[in-house]
């Protein structure tokens, strides 16, 4: 589908694998100029190569950076500005369940990665997004930011990420920057946590699906990417401050 994103400058964090890679591919398929960011340079480079081959009409660049490091985060936005002349779309996808350390350390690291790094990227990109005329931010949260579920530090930080995005959406609407969220349910892919559990315990996972996911299967990264690309496009021009579940009906939340 042509969503009018050709030539737009798009930054996707956590883009070397999984959901982030599918999001980057979704923008590349639209002919955008996409900057992929992740810490591991090798996987990043091979992902970029795959996308360039699959989408010759797109421009795909990479920057190896840890978004929890302020200097490296600044480098990501500076690289987009240097290579593409600005930033039209920012997708904060880098995120994880942090399980290491004491309870307090896990909570701090979860907030650092899932909340602070996203808002730092937003602040770094703010003036470029405002100058774009089409500025859009899509943050990748989780259905477990809307309701009970997942480890507490993940649940709490993803809830904060949703609240942070909503607050910024209202503040930045006047600047012409739309901020929205996508909240995936359980998304399975090779190398991902649900993909691994599917291999290790196929029967248990079928029981999980039967009990938890009305759609009857795990979601895939491309289904999340489709929602992200839509929200970043002018087709979603009147969508501001939304959190869109992509979860096969898995969420039980009324909000
Ligand atoms: N998979 C699911 O079922 C699911 C469900 C709901 C929400 N989500 C959310 O969706 C997002 C992506 O999940 P995923 O399952 O695709 O994750 P994943 O497979 O673990 O991939 C994470 C990506 O982020 C990068 N990354 C991790 N930490 C980073 C950092 N500090 N700085 C820069 N890049 C970093 C990773 O590359 P490097 O390790 O090389 O940095 C990788 O490219 C996360 O925010 C997650 O919470 C996932």
The gap between the terminal CA atoms of the chain, to the nearest Å, is 30
| CB 67 near ligand 1, within 6 Å | yes
Ligand 1 midpoint to CA 140 (Å):
9
Indicate the pTM of the whole model: 0.98
Q: Which SS3 state, helix, strand or coil, does residue 103 take?
A: helix
Ligand 1 midpoint to CA 174 (Å):
31
CA nearest 106: which of 164, 151, 40? 151
| Mutational pocket test of ligand 1: of 18, 228, 251, the residue with most ligand atoms within 8 Å of the beta carbon | 18
Ligand 1 closest atom vs CA 18? 16
| CB 23 near ligand 1, within 6 Å | no
Ligand 1 closest atom vs CA 92? 45
Q: Which two tokens stand for residue 236?
A: 């979603």
Q: What are the structural domain ranges in the chain?
A: 9-184+219-246
Q: Residue 30 and residue 24: Cα distance in Å, rounded? A: 10
| CB 92 near ligand 1, within 6 Å | no
Ligand 1 midpoint to CA 134 (Å):
26
| CB 243 near ligand 1, within 6 Å | no
Q: Which of 55, 144, 154, 168 is catalytic?
A: 154
| Mutational pocket test of ligand 1: of 37, 50, 96, 215, the residue with most ligand atoms within 8 Å of the beta carbon | 96
CA nearest 88: which of 9, 146, 167? 9
| CB 41 near ligand 1, within 6 Å | no
**Ligand 1: residue whose CA is nearest its atom 40:** 40
Cβ neighbors of 219 (< 8 A, separation 6 or more) are 184, 185, 186, 187, 188, 246, 247, 248
> Do you know the residue count of the chain?
255
Q: Which residues pair with 183 in a beta bridge?
A: 245
Q: Going by CATH, does the domain composed of 9-184+219-246 fall within 3.40.50.720?
A: yes
**Ligand 1: residue whose CA is nearest its atom 24:** 14
pLDDT of residue 10: 98
Q: Residue 209 and residue 250: Cα distance in Å, rounded? A: 9
Q: Which SS3 state, helix, strand or coil, does residue 148 take?
A: coil
| CB 16 near ligand 1, within 6 Å | yes
154 carries an active-site annotation = yes
C-beta separation of 228 from 182 below 8 A: yes
Per-residue pLDDT for the chain (255 aa), expressed as one digit of tens each? 789 999 999 999 999 999 999 999 999 999 999 999 999 999 999 999 999 999 999 999 999 999 999 999 999 999 999 999 999 999 999 999 999 999 999 999 999 999 999 999 999 999 999 999 999 999 999 999 999 988 999 999 999 999 999 999 999 999 999 999 999 999 999 999 999 999 999 999 999 999 999 999 999 999 999 999 999 999 999 999 999 999 999 999 887
User: Which stretches of the chain are DSSP H helices?
Assistant: 18-29, 41-54, 70-84, 103-111, 117-132, 152-172, 193-200, 202-212, 221-232
């Amino acid at each position: 589908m042509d969503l009018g994103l050709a030539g737009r400058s798009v930054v996707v964090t956590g883009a070397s694998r999984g959901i982030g890679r599918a999001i980057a591919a979704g923008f590349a398929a639209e002919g955008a100029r996409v900057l992929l960011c992740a810490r591991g340079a090798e996987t990043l480079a091979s992902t970029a190569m795959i996308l360039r081959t699959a989408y010759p009409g797109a421009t795909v660049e990479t920057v190896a950076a840890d978004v929890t490091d302020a200097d490296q985060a600044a480098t990501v936005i500076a690289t987009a500005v240097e290579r593409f002349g600005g930033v039209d779309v920012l997708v904060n996808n880098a995120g994880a369940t942090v399980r290491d350390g004491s309870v307090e350390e896990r909570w701090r690291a979860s907030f650092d990665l899932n909340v602070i790094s996203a808002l730092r990227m937003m602040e770094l990109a703010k003036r470029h997004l405002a100058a774009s005329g089409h500025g859009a931010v899509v943050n990748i949260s989780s259905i477990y930011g809307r309701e009970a579920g997942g480890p507490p530090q993940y649940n709490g930080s993803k809830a904060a990420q949703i609240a942070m995005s909503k607050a910024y959406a209202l503040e930045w609407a006047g600047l012409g920057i739309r901020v929205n969220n996508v909240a995936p349910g359980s998304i399975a892919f090779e190398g991902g946590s649900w993909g691994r559990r599917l291999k290790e315990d196929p029967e248990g996972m079928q029981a999980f699906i039967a009990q938890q996911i009305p759609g009857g299967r795990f979601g895939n990264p491309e289904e999340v990417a489709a929602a992200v690309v839509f929200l970043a496009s002018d087709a979603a021009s009147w969508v501001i401050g939304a959190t869109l579940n992509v979860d096969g009906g898995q969420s039980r939340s009324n909000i």
